[in-house]
Structure 1
Amino acid sequence: MEAANATRGVNASCDANIDDFRNQVYSTSYSLITVLGLVGNGFALAVLIRTSRQSSPFHVYMLNLAVSDLLCVMTLPLRVLYYVNKGQWNQGDFLCRISSYALYVNLYCSVYFMAAMSVTRFLAIVFPVKNLRLVTESRARLVCAGIWLFICLSSSPFLITGQHTDPSTNKTKCFEPPEGRGVRKLVMLNYLSLVIGFATPFLVILICYAAIVWTLLSRKHTARRQRGAAGKAIRMIVIVLLTFLFSFMPYHVQRTLHLSFLARGDATCSETIAMQKSVVVTLCMAASNSCFDPLLYFFSGEGFRSRLSSMRHSVAGSAHRSAARLKAVSDPGENQQNQQNQQNQQATASSQRGGPSRRLLSIC
């Protein structure tokens, strides 16, 4: 499924032009995605873990989505090294397979976790009473485990192809497209992943969002709490749809066209260069989904901003207590004097409160 790194069936000048463009775009894009993805998802994961006592089904899906994104962006530096070295792979066969596998596991886990979050929001808005019984944390964990198992198993074909040596350049290659019969097998695998991994969950998301919008429009008088839930739902709809339209849909459409293009074998040089460049761009767009997910946590995540606020107060309180203990250990004499002063002040205040009553009793 990886974008082609060399043009098939055309002259060497086409290969060189495509390789230069590919190396520059991939190395720059993957470096930027790595930085943004590590910072955004790492921060989100820290907030979610530190506030795990406030857990909810939506919290469970956000946590798994953040883990999936982090696992993906941690493999992107290997791709950066590959393209910086102008298509020379030096990290071994195992890491070649794992880095290719991780990208697609993240891609389809993100799709399915977004679908699960959309169904959860759908039940909360459309069936609020049944939602309390149907949607629980334990069931959300089971759904996440099922998603991980299904995606990891269905993406296992990406572990089959590892590094190989290009006979024309004598370079060790990775992330290269297959040739000959391998293209036909990849076309079948593409259609399968297109239907199961993209089209089906996307259809579920669209149905859920249509029902949510219809329900919100039909409610003329809503309570303040319901309006808050509606705002979260609208923000989630916008972010998820933008992610699909920018990251997932262009990549899947272009990947399908690209594989059909490879099977033709009669393309001209200019057509091949244009196709290869478009595939490079759409693959970078697909990998960038790891940068959009933190927006989903912050703007539509259930209580994420309140979790962030509570974590900030907790960290500030811990720092204050640590500073007080450190000060007490470093200067025990001053600490004892402060305690004595506090006791004297409390005694004085108590005597002042009790003085008038005692004088009144003596007069009586």
Structure 2
Amino acid sequence: MEPEYSPSGNSSNCSTDNRMNQVLFPLLYTFIFVVGIIMNGLAMGVFFQISNKSNFIIFLKNTVISDILMILTFPFKILSDAKLVSWELRGFVCKVTQVIFYFTMYISIIFLGLITIDRYLKTARPFKSASSDNTLASKILSVLIWIFMFCLSLPNMILTNKKPTRENVKKCADLKSDFGLLWHEVVNYVCQFIFWANFAIIVICYTLITKELYKSYKRTRNTGNTNKKTVNMKVFIIIGVFFVCFVPFHFARIPYTLSQTRDVFECSTQNTLFYIKESTLWLTSLNACLDPFIYFALCRSFRRSLLNVFHKCVTKTRRDHNTETTDEETPM
């Protein structure tokens, strides 16, 4: 969804440091891929054991699916950027995996907004039972979100229909038809709206959550009930992840896009904006590794199931070890 421009920008004489492009960023994405596939694979396994008993769990399950899909696009980006394979792979990255990357990014942003609303309602109405949640509505809403984003993204694949060559794959926009470029621009506006709408939702909800927690603190400060306050503060992990992963990229993309579409920046400025964009894009990818901390911190069912899995593994390991020791000590 985000236009992928050549690092050289508008000036053919302006180039970037190949060591950064072909070594550093691929290594950073490799780190996220390894850590992310392990953590989200484990999270997916744990969520399979948890029933859809609340809106919160449904939203979390959608987030982990989105994260896994994003992570699966990383090997293609790594191989393409590091130039470890032929240039033909770059055409596939432009047409398919890059679109999936941004598709999953904005799905994650939407569900973080929904999770934030759910946490605000839980903070404002702490005694409301999760069983009273309208999970059917949440399931329908989740399906509609996936369908909407899929319908928004699919034309970006279909309309990237020019034959790839060694030259035009350097800039993904060159692979799009005229209507493809127009659709791409429309999608960018929609995605900007999605981000800023969820940005507003998260800021407003956390302002209200802070007020609710302060009221709770004033009511309980003389009772010595510090455990409840500590648990409640964990809810701020969501806004922390959102601001670390998504806010820097969406602020950086504005001047970066201007540097690529208007010949008003010096080469050094273009390069600086390119590296800022690439660095903040990596931070958005880091979201796939940070989301499991949200699950563990805020979802009691997830935490209980995960600890139960670890307990079973430790117990099995000890049992196997004791069996081996007994066999070794048994006389022939």
Provide closer, same or farther for how the CA distance between residues 37 and 77 of structure 1 changes in structure 2, counting only shifts above 3 A: same
Which residue is 2:326 aligned to? none
The CA RMSD measured in Å over matched residues stands at 3.6
Which residue is 2:215 aligned to? 218
Provide closer, same or farther for how the CA distance between residues 318 and 21 of structure 1 changes in structure 2, counting only shifts above 3 A: closer
Provide the rounded CA distance (Å) in 2 between the counterparts of 1:120 and 1:143: 14
Provide the rounded CA distance (Å) in 2 between the counterparts of 1:184 and 1:259: 16
User: Could you tell me whether the CA contact under 8 Å between 1:18 and 1:277 is conserved in 2?
Assistant: no
- After TM superposition, give the deviation of residue 306 of structure 1 in Å: 1.3
Provide closer, same or farther for how the CA distance between residues 55 and 158 of structure 1 changes in structure 2, counting only shifts above 3 A: same
The one-letter code of the counterpart of 2:10 is G
Provide the rounded CA distance (Å) in 1 between the counterparts of 2:134 and 2:228: 18
Quick check: 1:7 aligned with 2:3?
no
Provide the rounded CA distance (Å) in 2 between the counterparts of 1:322 and 1:297: 31
User: Could you tell me whether the CA contact under 8 Å between 1:23 and 1:86 is conserved in 2?
Assistant: no
Map 1:73-88 to 2 at 5 A.
73-85=71-83, 88=86
- After TM superposition, give the deviation of residue 89 of structure 1 in Å: 3.1
- After TM superposition, give the deviation of residue 149 of structure 1 in Å: 1.8
Quick check: 1:201 aligned with 2:202?
no
Q: What secondary structure is seen at the aligned counterpart in 1 of 2:172?
A: coil
Unpaired runs of 5+ residues, structure 2, are 322-332
Map 1:114-125 to 2 at 5 A.
114-125=112-123
The one-letter code of the counterpart of 1:79 is K
Which residue is 1:90 aligned to? 88
Identity of aligned pairs, percent? 22
User: Could you tell me whether the CA contact under 8 Å between 1:251 and 1:286 is conserved in 2?
Assistant: yes
Provide closer, same or farther for how the CA distance between residues 317 and 291 of structure 1 changes in structure 2, counting only shifts above 3 A: closer
User: Could you tell me whether the CA contact under 8 Å between 1:88 and 1:171 is conserved in 2?
Assistant: no
User: Could you tell me whether the CA contact under 8 Å between 2:26 and 2:82 is conserved in 1?
Assistant: yes
TM-score (norm 2): 0.80
Quick check: 1:68 aligned with 2:83?
no
Provide the rounded CA distance (Å) in 2 between the counterparts of 1:71 and 1:269: 35
Provide closer, same or farther for how the CA distance between residues 296 and 218 of structure 1 changes in structure 2, counting only shifts above 3 A: same
User: Could you tell me whether the CA contact under 8 Å between 1:5 and 1:19 is conserved in 2?
Assistant: no
Which residue is 1:30 aligned to? 29
Q: What secondary structure is seen at the aligned counterpart in 2 of 1:52?
A: coil
Provide the rounded CA distance (Å) in 2 between the counterparts of 1:145 and 1:183: 28
Aligned residues: 319
Which residue is 1:173 aligned to? 169
- After TM superposition, give the deviation of residue 82 of structure 1 in Å: 0.6
Residue from 242, 248, 252 that aligns with 2:246: 248
TM-score (norm 1): 0.74
